[in-house]
Amino acid sequence: MDLTQGTQKEKNARAKKMMLWFGIVSLLMGFAGWTSAFIVSSSREDWLNDFQLPTAFFYSTAVIILSSLTYIQAKRLVKKDAQKAATSWLYGTLLLGIIFIILQFTGFNEIIAQGYYFTGPTSNITMSYIFLIAAVHIVHVIAGMISLIVVLVRQRQGKYSSANMLGMELGATFWHFLDLLWVYLMLFFYFF
């Protein structure tokens, strides 16, 4: 396939999708590095082996999965040109993103209530990794929420339709990536 062929609109869409995927791959490499460091560090004498993940992290996992489903529904409705319903589903996705972040901080508070801190004399290398990885993921969810707000504003302005879905597709791809990344991290923390 010759990527130089096609209309200007098609080439622009390909370029934007490729840039998004470059960003996603670079984020994957960062999280792969942190989870690899987590594995390597687990052989340390001061490593916690009996730590229980906060309950709020499990609830937040369900919430972020649900948010991907609401984003999928919004895209389906835009493809059917059901704009008002799609906007409602996008608002639902945004609300679930906010709930996810609240649950993450609730999880951090559960960890602190168990006596573990990110730094300081009561800190632990295991908890420092969990705090770091979860916090960096939250930062990316905030970036995803900013992109979702942009999509929502453009949706309300009538910019998306069955013939013009690029911005929504890019936003949804990033959101689903964040969802899958959190599910991976939870499985990693739970089973490792």
Report residue 27 as tokens.
Answer: 């984020």
User: Quick check: 1 pLDDT over 60?
Assistant: no
Which of 106, 112, 130, 22 has its CA nearest to residue 56?
106
CA 99/CA 192 separation, integer angstroms: 26
Measured in degrees and rounded to the nearest 5, phi and psi for residue 164 equal: -140, 95
The 10s digit of each residue's pLDDT in 103-139 is: 999 999 999 998 888 888 878 888 889 999 999 999 9
CA 148/CA 72 separation, integer angstroms: 13
pLDDT for res 109: 94
Residues shown for the chain: 192
Measured in degrees and rounded to the nearest 5, phi and psi for residue 46 equal: -90, 15
pLDDT for res 119: 81
Measured in degrees and rounded to the nearest 5, phi and psi for residue 107 equal: -60, -40
pLDDT for res 9: 84
- 101, 138 in Cβ contact below 8 A? yes
Report residue 15 as tokens.
Answer: 């370029």
Which of 161, 125, 128 has its CA nearest to residue 46?
125
**Which pTM was predicted?**
0.91
pLDDT for res 150: 97
Q: At which residue do the structure tokens 């840039």 appear?
A: 19
Helix (H, G, I), strand (E, B) or coil at 60: helix
Q: Mean of the pLDDT values across residues 150-174?
A: 95
- Residue 23's alpha-carbon distances to 17, 28, 190, in angstroms, are 10, 9, 27
The 10s digit of each residue's pLDDT in 9-48 is: 888 889 999 999 999 999 999 999 999 999 999 999 888 8
Mean pLDDT of the chain: 93
